Amino acid sequence: MKVYMVLMVVLLSACATAPKGAKAFSEVNIPRPSNGKSTLVFYRKITPPASYEMRVHINGKETVSLPNNTFSYVSLNAGTTKIETKWSAWSGARSKEKSIQIPPNKVVYLELKSSVYSPGGIQLGGGSTQAQADSYAVKTLKACCKYVPSKR
């Protein structure tokens, strides 16, 4: 029984972290948008459930799994984009989806948040479905986040 309790404490206190050797935000060249396409940069700071990766799906396609303090980006056409986050069943967090508007020829920043404590399960940009101000996002990304390449 003691072994079981110790194992549970270790598993519940572990955090999903960036891969070893992952580049910092300032070391990654985010592509400049052109020809009506935009670049969506999305990131996750430390957010519960901290010991699980947040699986991000964009427009129905699995895009990346984000541990804490990581970011990724994708090139998208302008218009409505569906963002979904999915979790391990063990996490206690609900999968959630929201749609956001992507303007043409822009870099758009989006913080992905979650909570096992709220019924919504995910908040995009602090509860908003709008992208964050560029200056806040870039400052946050430089301070916290490592790059995880997307599958797209």
Cβ neighbors of 101 (< 8 A, separation 6 or more) are 79, 80, 81
What pLDDT does residue 1 have?
Answer: 55
Cβ neighbors of 7 (< 8 A, separation 6 or more) are none
- pLDDT per position as a tens digit, 106-120: 998 888 887 554 444
Contact by Cβ (8 Å): 51, 16:
yes
- pLDDT per position as a tens digit, 12-41: 445 567 678 899 999 999 999 999 999 999
Torsion angle, alpha carbons of 78, 82, 88, 91, to 10? 100
What pLDDT does residue 11 have?
Answer: 43
Instruction: Sort strands 70-77 and 146-147 into parallel, antiparallel or unpaired.
Output: parallel
pTM to 2 decimal places: 0.79
Contact by Cβ (8 Å): 64, 148:
yes
